[in-house]
Amino acid sequence: MKTLKLCLATLLFAASAWATDVYITLDAPTLTASPGDLLSFNGTITSEHMVTIDLNDISVSLAGMLLVDETSFLLGPPTVDPLGTTVDFTLFTVAVNAPYTDPLGPVNGTITILGGLESGNVYDPTATSYLGQTGFTVDVATPEISTAWMLLPGVTCLWLIRRRRRTVGCGPTQTLVLVSCVLYSFTNTRNEAF
């Protein structure tokens, strides 16, 4: 019986150690980016306690060719009021490497907020207890083809038409065929991009 009570006490202590003290609400939990882009994950933090909570640190876990910068969290609010919610602020940023050689698609990560419950309304910047956690996703997509690259085949065809007219003396029928070829090429290039 003593062993059972000891096990139960240990389980209760472990559960309370990882209890959620704050809830993290991201404005957009999934953001899409192309290689070279910089994303900002913004949101709010809501307290679940009747005391002020010190927000001392953030830990962002994200794999792949993505660089996380957590310094913006330290510029945000240092505390959250009892049963209150912080202002909307930037929690962290993610830079997508360019060139990006990992597989394209969603990359999942987690955010963990660290800090502590205040005792006697005294701010403790050294407290790094687990306060709460949430997930987020960075969706790395294929970069869009720029308009200049889409226009290149059409401009090349027009240049060839003009050059051919000067050398051969192209009549109206051949010019019409060449212009329709250019328009067809431009339309196909544009449709493939979307």
Tens digits of per-residue pLDDT, 69-82?
999 999 999 999 99
Alpha helices in the chain (DSSP H): 2-17, 71-74, 147-168, 172-193
First-last CA distance in the chain: 69
Confidence (pLDDT) at 143:
59
The single residue listed with the structure tokens 């660089």 is 67
pLDDT in tens, 175-188: 566 666 666 665 66
Structure tokens at 175: 């010019």
What are the boundaries of each domain within the chain?
Answer: 2-140, 147-193
Confidence (pLDDT) at 14:
42
User: Measuring CA to CA, which residue among 14, 24, 94 is closest to residue 61?
Assistant: 94
User: Measuring CA to CA, which residue among 26, 175, 191, 35 is closest to residue 111?
Assistant: 26
For residues 51 and 121, what is the distance between their CA atoms, to the nearest angstrom?
8
pTM over 0.85: no
CB 62 within 8 A of CB 91: no
For the chain, what percent of residues have pLDDT higher than 70? 64
Output the CA–CA distances (angstroms, integers) from residue 74 to 20, 56, 104, 193, 194, in the order listed. Answer: 21, 8, 31, 41, 40
Confidence (pLDDT) at 67:
93
Element (H, E) at 38: strand 38-47
Q: Which fold has domain 2-140?
A: Immunoglobulin-like (2.60.40)
pLDDT in tens, 82-117: 999 999 999 999 999 988 888 889 999 999 999 999
For residues 75 and 79, what is the distance between their CA atoms, to the nearest angstrom?
12
Model confidence at 18, pLDDT cuts 50, 70, 90, reads low
Task: HSE, CB side, 13 Å, CA atoms: give it for residue 12.
Answer: 6
Please tell me the least confidently modeled range out of 122-126, 129-133, 142-146.
142-146
